[in-house]
Structure 1
Amino acid sequence: MQLTSEVKKYRFDFLKSRYIWLGLSIVYLVVGVVAYIALGGFEYHINFTGGAEVRLSFEKQLDIAKLRAAVSGAGWKDAVIQETGSTQRDFALRIGGSPDAKLEQNVTTIVKDAIPENKVTITGVSQVGAEVRSETTWNATVAIILAMLVLLLYIAARYEFRFGLGAFASLIHDILAILTFLVLTREQFSLDVLAAILAVLGYSVHDSIVVFSRIRENLKALKNMSEYDIVNLSINQTLRRTLLTSFSTLLSALALFLLGGETLRGFSLIMIVGIIVGTYSSIYIASPVMLAVHTKKGGE
């Protein structure tokens, strides 16, 4: 491998603008913190808040505003109603609080009285009590923490500790970026969203490993090149593979979002956001942090 020819091969100086991108990431995350405080936190699914979800199917198409008016008029001011599917006949009604044994009967009566001209059928009811809610919240927290620790230890053991720190910084960034997206868009934090976050963590680490593997190879082969140039070169060499992998995975997630209906909406939406964020962080967070740790340690 010729030093001069390899240096000429990298077209983009990603590290030159790393502080600009880092600054933009910080601004975005700060906006998320402000929004979190101003809006009162996340919009949680009943899996985390406790309550019930009632799935309704109407015989004819129905304006969702009419259903909302009927539910609100019954005293459920904080109930959330979402259309499921694209037929304007199927809806999900989410009600917080303690589960009610007569909930199905009450919903049926309220809807029939308010919209008598459109026959309604209850297709399913899901209830989550306080005990299940607490267990779900705890399991979600533990799952994310354990996933991050395992991924950090894996990279630190396979490469060097500084590579592990770079990957860890990337994972923290990805989680915070997704949480900020949830706050700003008021998307519900559900078990599906949690599953997508865990999948994104693995995807992000894979992207980082691809770059780290090339960096390690180049560190051994290009002894006379500075680490700054080696990291830049490695990112350029793996850029095509990174973008192609991201694009193909993004298409799959987009197909799920467009065709999967309400059931897969939360999962696929977070996957789309996570793929974009994970690709970005593997270039502008993981590698620059790894380089910064070495530079500080070496006193350069």
Structure 2
Amino acid sequence: MSKFAALLPPTFTRTIEAWLAEDIPSFDYGGFVVGDAPKTATLYCKSPGVLSGIPFFNEVFRQTGCSVTWDIEEGAEIVPQEGKVSVAKVHGPARRILLGERLALNILARCSGIASRARRLREVADRMAFLGVVAGTRKTTPGFRLVEKYGMMVGGADTHRMDLSTMVMLKDNHVWSTGSITKAVEAARGVAGFSIKIEVECQSIEEAFEAIDAGADVVMLDNFVPDDIRLAAVEVKTRGVAVGRQVLVEASGGITEETAHLYMLPGIDIISFGTMTQSVPHVDFSLKIDH
């Protein structure tokens, strides 16, 4: 049911185990009330969105001793008719269904919310005939990053860097701490090796030129307004050609779903959105035992 499930590390099952332990640290009083009678529960979607997070949902119920059958494939757009639509069935003892209910719903709701925003941003890019990358950022929830990055991917967006070890991104604090963009890039290149890209956050075209001359692979034009970034992107590309390298240009900083189209310009290779994970409305799911 999920073409992206094979990407997940085997250790993600331990994360689910830890979340279950957090939610049920001692006695399960509600589970005692309902007992172990075999039941089937229906998963309903009650608001529009992109379904995402199936492997995590499945694993929650696998660990509680239940099974799940799905009626809708991951990545599909759900538009509830008459208030709700059936998405899946969970089978197992009543207390074990309720044991995993809230954790599974929390994961699915947020993951689907992120996938939905990613899909909308990707659709804006397609309407604008934008050939660049629509990406998330590392503005993720501690402990929940894998789920959030997974949602971006299901929605059709790029995950950007997964963590601090994936790519070198030199921001203003790095530059201030080392004294200059040039020194920061040189220090990074000394340890990063040939396989790791170096990106530099730049506040002006002068900083972008310094980053290119120092050997940066990606220049982030941060908090530029659309009219300024249109010109700056062309200048950055020209400077890259002049030094014999293809430099990627990323637009970032305060770009929202409403303003995204203004940044989908020639010369922009990547647009990153912190809003892909921040302040994202969740998709509304509920799980009801059939009766």
TM-score (norm 2): 0.29
Structure with the bigger percentage of helix: 1
Structure with the bigger percentage of strand: 2
Please tell me whether Structure 1 or Structure 2 has the larger radius of gyration of its CA atoms.
Answer: 1
TM-score (norm 1): 0.28
Q: Which has the higher contact order (CA 8 A, sep 6+)?
A: 1
